[in-house]
Structure 1
Amino acid sequence: MHGSDHGLSRRAFVRSAVAIGGASALAACLQREETEDVPQASLSPDELPERQHAWNDFLATDDHGNVEPPEHHLLLGLEYVGDGPADAEGERERIEAALRTLERAYERGNDGLAFTLGYGPRYVDRFETDLPETVDLPDPEALAPIEDPRLDEYDALVHLASDYGHVTLSAEEALTGELEELNGIAVEDSFDGIFDVADRRTGFIGRGLPAKNQSGVGGIPDSEPVPEDAPLFMGFKSGFRKTQASEDRVTIPDGPFAGGTTIHLSKIQLHLHQWYEQDSRDQRVAKMFSPTHAEEGLVDGAGHNLGDSSGIADIPGSAAEDARNPGTVGHAQKAARAREDGEPIILRRDFDSTDDGRAAVHFLSLQRSIADFVKTRRAMTGRDLTEGSVGSRTNNGILQYISVRNRANYLVPPRGRRALPEPNPT
């Protein structure tokens, strides 16, 4: 899947097909991708980890131990079709059978499929009981004065990820009742008649993919400036091992949903004309990482030379000092202030998108509680730093280049409770 120009052209085609969706897009992907190399599961569903979000041990890593996420991503916002509490007779069994079909059809990981199913506050509100105190799942809200997002109200969210576009499309078709066989495995059941797909978002991440998908996309200059080695539209690598929370750190430790986690999902629109046409490379490095990174030339290209860490912990001074002099503070600097005991508290699984013909990021993070995400987001906003020479947005990290369009929160139960869970099961 990696390497040649021909392969990258094929990836751009597959990305477009995944964004379109449906049977015709799936057929096109099957013609362009290698289907015989997609393995069926080597583990039975009962042998898989109880954590839905336990992906890292199954995903590829680079030479520095950084997890390499799957290239293609598909998000399905689901609405429950019934009235009142979920789980009419047999629905829970049908949901579980549909999910186990996916787990039998594909090996877990990049070359197969990784997925999660989560539930939003709207789903919980269908019941008379509340979530236990061990689960923090508030309604989404705007988190800064500069944003006015749409607050999503879907009952559930499915996140599908694979290096193969046809795998995510096939899984979608199976879940919605459009396939009888999935990678040689009979489809036992589907979400049909239980959930409707109310929203569909797609995206990609990986070295070279943004550059190959930037042409004619809104929010990016016509000069097509995204570097060839960049895994994301803003031109730099992210997801360094030492800047990511562990899966243990983001796991709910106690209560009936122990082994689960929470998702915060934001859709963020990018505005990169000034980023690439007016800002110099040193300015971009300073705003993404820190002024010290720019002054000392610490970042080569997209930053793959940094190894397993952004290096923020090793630079002298602080975000507050840089905000005063030289008057610029980096995005990574600000976000690092939300660490606890020196460790990050959220695990990012975000990816770029060209949905609606505009450059965007689907920012998907996992955390033990939504409060952990809120803490990190407020540190990244840096309102406490704007009283000095840094304006509310200008030179304040990457704030002036992004607009939050959607926000949503979800509970991802452990696998044993993933099928239409009651809010406070005994």
Structure 2
Amino acid sequence: MKLLAGYPLAMQVVLGNLRRQSAAEILAGLDAADLNVDSGSQEKTASILKCVEYSHSNLSPEAQKLLVCLAPFSGFLFRPLLPSYAEQLQQLEPFQGYPFEQLDAAIAEAIAWGLLSPMDADNPQLLTIQPVFPYFLKTKLNGLDAGTREALWEGFKNYYRELAESYQQLMNSKEAQERQTGIIFCNWEYENLYNALNICLEKQESIGIYQCLDVYLNLTTNIQDRLELSKFVSERVENYSSESITADIAFEIAEVYLKLGNCYLKTQDYSSARSTYLQLLESLEKLQSLPDRERQLAIATTYHQLGSVAQELRQFEQANDYYQQALQIFIDFGDRFSQASTYFQLGRLAEEMGELEAAKANYLQDLQITAEFNDEQGLGISLRNLARFYQQTQDESILAAVASLFGATIEELKAAILSD
């Protein structure tokens, strides 16, 4: 329905095809510019192509040629960045003779004829694409030679690789406004980023775009879509040949499985989480393309997550074994920052087992490390947890340790806890 967008001609053709095809099959056909999908009626006026053909025919020849370059896009265009897209295409031989200096004028013509439109009057640089227009452009693209078609998808992929890095940097920013900007643009660009990721997967290349989409879905707390994305990518990377898996790609693939396991853990599918982590652990132990330090730290992180699964299942002894294995690797390889979260989990585990002295010792180790790294978010979690633990145990040594670390008095800490 989003694709049809209320256009009567498009609806007549597509809905007629539903008698013999599923919605998914029709969408796949449209994406591939399958003319058989478009021939649902004998009347030429009922063709989907006719929804945009008149407007397109009124564009200048230069604009028609340049706008074919928009065929890979879906839904959204950010007009100020289109020169960067043109630069990516110009690096590829089939597009070196294209008059990209006229691209903005071609965009203006497309807007005038209703093929593109501003999202709102206040920001005319944000453009939505008439839903059937990309399908129409793909039929035009299919009329070009194979080299040009391949180069267009390559340029599109490279453009969104760079954009994905920029959006991810914004979403990882400590500035709230920058994070929000990154989230907003990923929302608008999701289909384009996803399409570019698919090209990377088909070519068995780096999947850095996946990291950007995963950060976006995590920040928007869309756990189900995050799970589905991770499942999809994990299935596709299984087809990568050994020759295509460089050290960087091997690390990216390990991240996919780790995030997939984390999604299962958050959705309380503990069996799937455990099997995913164990599969990752087995792969990491065999993987030699990663530098040893990176590989061992990834193994430690996987052990930590296996500990979390066991702890949720109240398999305390097994959880402790996994956490201790993770902690030892973090210590051996000098990754002090990662030790903090494992100490925190060991504290929780000890507390659940009624071992309050061990819990206190681990919680204080976690606090010491987060304070060393000035990790504001981690520090807030650690202090709130210790305040809760103190209220439960009334152990004055906890306050003494915190007071010594931050140069406060025990009375000040008690007052802060009471006022919280």
- Smaller-chain TM-score bracket: under 0.3
Comparing both structures, which one devotes a greater share of its residues to helix?
2
- Length-normalised TM-score, structure 1: 0.22
Greater relative CO (CA pairs within 8 A, separation 6+): 1
Report which of the two structures shows the higher radius of gyration computed on alpha carbons. Answer: 2
Comparing both structures, which one devotes a greater share of its residues to strand?
1
